[in-house]
Chain A
Amino acid sequence: QSALTQPASVSGSPGQSITIPCTGTSFDVGGYNSVSWYQQHPGRAPKLMIYDVTDRPSGVSQRFSGSKSGNTASLTISGLQAEDEADYYCSSFRSTGTLMVFGGGTKLTVL
């Protein structure tokens, strides 16, 4: 069982926007601004898309944005494109027990 909760799947049509939530606790997502999001295509290593809740690494499209409210962080992808179809994982620093925790992953399908 993953420490952070994500929906198993989300879907959207090209051009639409979708949001993937990641729910934790006050010991991780809610208590620290160390939430990251990763994109993973089949057979590839994960790719960092968002770090520190809202920051984008160089080269990542502005269509990807992050936010947080309480114990839930969110990844929003606007202007969906076929290439966005992938698995998405959130992660967070955690102050108790395990130092870093991941979500179970969300499969994004672009219809």
Chain B
Amino acid sequence: AQKITQTQPGMFVQEKEAVTLDCTYDTSDPSYGLFWYKQPSSGEMIFLIYQGSYDQQNATEGRYSLNFQKARKSANLVISASQLGDSAMYFCAMREGPGGQGNLIFGKGTKLSVKP
């Protein structure tokens, strides 16, 4: 069974609109971390945002926010006011176990295209 599921292989969004990229995860460990990475066409992997399983509030980093619904085991990435430069692959990842331990498990990614 997949531990990280990204159900949207590709998505389109109009420039300046908000977009939500879905991510569901599967773990029985009470302590875990969730990450989002961006991979533009140039190929580098860029860390965007992190959410710990015990964090009470949803993480935010500028135009990025993480809609963390623990009971549903979902960690959706919300990008507000999309820009052309947001066109990229986006990967959700999970670390099982407490911080400082455990390796990352990645989803297969969602390709986001921002239309002018």
Partners in one complex: no
Q: Please report A residues at the B interface, Cβ cutoff 8 Å.
A: none
Q: Please report B residues at the A interface, Cβ cutoff 8 Å.
A: none
